[in-house]
Amino acid sequence: MRTHEDPAPELRHISCSPSRGRKMAPSHVLRCCQRGLAWIPVIFIALVVCWSYYAYVVELCVSTITSIAEKLIYLTFFHLSFVMFVWSYWKTIFTKPASPSKEFCLPKAEKERYEKEERPESQQEILWRAASTLPLYTRTGAGAIRYCDRCQVIKPDRCHHCSACDMCVLKMDHHCPWVNNCVGFSNYKFFILFLAYSLVYCLFIAATVLQYFIKFWTNELQDTPAKFHVLFLFFVAAMFCISILSLFSYHLWLVGKNRSTIEAFRAPVFRTGSDKNGFSLGFRKNIAQVFGDQKKYWLLPVFTSQGDGLTFPTRLVNADAEQASVTLHPEPSKSVTDVPVSPEGESQNHLLNDGQHANDAEDVLADEPQKSAESETFTVSMESWS
């Protein structure tokens, strides 16, 4: 989160000097050019979609297909998939990425001390004091508090700085040039639906155009201006199907594992160490975190994700759910009540029921705990669903 405090007098004087203004002008123009160029992929997709609408509705359905019933069926299902695709794409593009709240910013006095301090050890002491009251479970690879010098904010769990958006994004997944936006907590559901409906859109076009593609290709139909549009429409739809299918499958796998793209490549580091499954609560609960509790809203591009993006339920164990069997060691100083629960998202409490330290029953088969005088060990057998 950017701070908007007034600069110090000397900085204000420097920024107002003519020479400073001349130096800043080129960089400002460069940023404007970069922002304009960033919209080129989105404009390209919009042009392809507009052309596909014209080619399918006008050139195929109106000019080529002769059966009235076939026209009505094709146009009805085409417009349903088209509306859902455009709706989800629009929401993915124009939903602003969520950033950390003010409570994760350093107090003014602590921030001044942090900026004046030159030793990293002393800076970490300041961050540790400021983070003592925050619901943080993840650390850097060295075990330090994660802090963004650019945004001057302590990073919440699963939060990362996006250099393209120049801001810290809650539960950041990746920055997507095709939507010119950062995909994170606020729009991840929209992004998944955008992939799903774009795949449905392309599959429907390819399937319904195929017979007329063959007829034009074999000269069974006369050469008309619609021939080029029909032939090219099939090639474009098939090409996009292949590319979107692989990306959509990958993100469905991530949702089932409750991981972001960043976490898939670099496992989050908890107090107990690195754990790639630290946020996994079981397949059904992982799905609910992104799509919500009410299934009737799952297919609609409206926000239903659980929580507030600042805190997430964790398994609080350093175990790998993808292994056939693991041993979970309970931490004596932690319990289920230690899991940070979002005060703004009451639906997140559903994730913290009796099965907090294990996956769903369909994913986990737990043995009875065996207790001894010296230690307490829980042996859990897990099915591999990777």
For residue 55, the tally of other CB atoms under 10 A from its CB is 23
Both tokens of 167, joined, read: 């801001």
Encoded amino acid at 256, one letter: G
Catalytic member of 176, 182, 202, 241: 176
Query: How long a stretch of residues is the chain?
Result: 386
Active site residue 16: no
Closest CA to 89 of 192, 188, 194: 194
What is the gyration radius of the CA atoms in the chain, in angstroms? 26
Sort strands 376-382 and 364-366 into parallel, antiparallel or unpaired.
antiparallel
Active site residues: 176
